[in-house]
Amino acid sequence: MRAVRFMLFMLLCFTMTCAWADIAPRPGGKAPRRDNASRSSFGNPQATVSMAAANVQVHISSGGAQNEASLIADVKSEFDMECSAAPQEGKDLDLVFPIYYTDEAAPKRHSFTVTVDGKPAADVKTSTWSVKDEKNKRRTQWGYAWRLFGLKGGQKRRIAVEYSLVLPQNEGKARFIYILRSGASWDGPIGQEVVSVTAENGLRMEILTPVALKPEQRTDTSLTWRITNAKPAEDIRLIIVPEAKP
């Protein structure tokens, strides 16, 4: 975790969009990615990298009295990567973290940091790349790119991403995406991933997608999804609705 269901299209046309996502190998870059035939789509079949585990925590809060028209999403995520095969000299991988689709409204950014095994990632830059969404439509994503150096067979790496984004509201509603499908780009299924989204009191969350993947826990202000030994096929899309003040 990619198109919005047609029955909700008109609703989404009047909302603003903010997105965040699983890390992924860069499309067209040097990172390995397997297709259904188990061959590298990136021209390098020598490295095999999987996502063993991921934990994503998102908290959505209001912008405060001075910015009541905005909602803020604070995101903390950790990804445990495992390399089961690589050249003896090691392999450098180009990674990306999608923030949004360029044909949707761009979010405002507060901050973005990424570390690898507790150290700042090298050469983090903004970038765009082309992907196919849930309906096999070619679209462009915007996000951050960096390089993971010297990955060797049998090695494990922990990548941590933290950032905050502003979700402007339009007609009292805001929309955001967690691009979950990007995690399906790695070799094999995701071992286990937990995505937890909480909202402060006075904000109600409505699920647009995923349809097939149901949250294991759900209240108006709390949602938790769990993926075990699977490749996600849908993104998480939510509408955030501030409850009317008395």
Per-residue pLDDT averaged across 157-174, rounded? 86
What pLDDT, on the 0 to 100 scale, is given for residue 68? 56
pLDDT at 118 over 90: yes
- Number of independent structural domains in the chain: 1
Q: What is the 3-state secondary structure (H, E, C) of 2-42?
A: CCCCHHHHHHHCCCCEEEEECCEECCCCCCCCECCCCCECC
What residues are paired with 188 via a beta bridge?
none
Q: 13 in a domain, yes or no?
A: yes
Q: 92 in a domain, yes or no?
A: yes
pLDDT over 70 percentage in the chain: 78
CATH (domain of 146): 2.60.40.3680
What pLDDT, on the 0 to 100 scale, is given for residue 28? 56
* Measured CA distances, 126 to 97, 100, 212 (Å): 9, 12, 32
176-227 per-position pLDDT tens digit: 888 888 888 899 999 999 999 999 998 999 999 888 889 999 998 999 999 9
What pLDDT, on the 0 to 100 scale, is given for residue 242? 84
66-77 per-position pLDDT tens digit: 555 688 999 999
Q: What is the number of alpha carbons within 13 Å of residue 134 lying toward its C-beta?
A: 20
Out of 20-24, 122-126, 202-206, least confident range:
20-24
pLDDT at 97 over 70: yes
pLDDT at 13 over 70: no
Q: 199 in a domain, yes or no?
A: yes
What pLDDT, on the 0 to 100 scale, is given for residue 224? 97
Q: 113 in a domain, yes or no?
A: yes
Q: What is the mean pLDDT of the chain?
A: 80
In which domain, by residue range, is 160 found? 6-242
What pLDDT, on the 0 to 100 scale, is given for residue 135? 84
First to last CA, the chain: 37
Higher pLDDT, 173 or 77: 77
Q: What is the pTM of this model?
A: 0.80
Q: 1 in a domain, yes or no?
A: no
What pLDDT, on the 0 to 100 scale, is given for residue 35? 30
What pLDDT, on the 0 to 100 scale, is given for residue 245? 61
Q: 68 in a domain, yes or no?
A: yes
Q: 182 in a domain, yes or no?
A: yes
What pLDDT, on the 0 to 100 scale, is given for residue 19? 44
Out of 16-25, 38-47, 105-114, 129-138, least confident range:
38-47
What pLDDT, on the 0 to 100 scale, is given for residue 46? 60
Give the dihedral sign, CA 6/236/174/104. negative
DSSP structural state of residue 205: E
Higher pLDDT, 228 or 241: 228
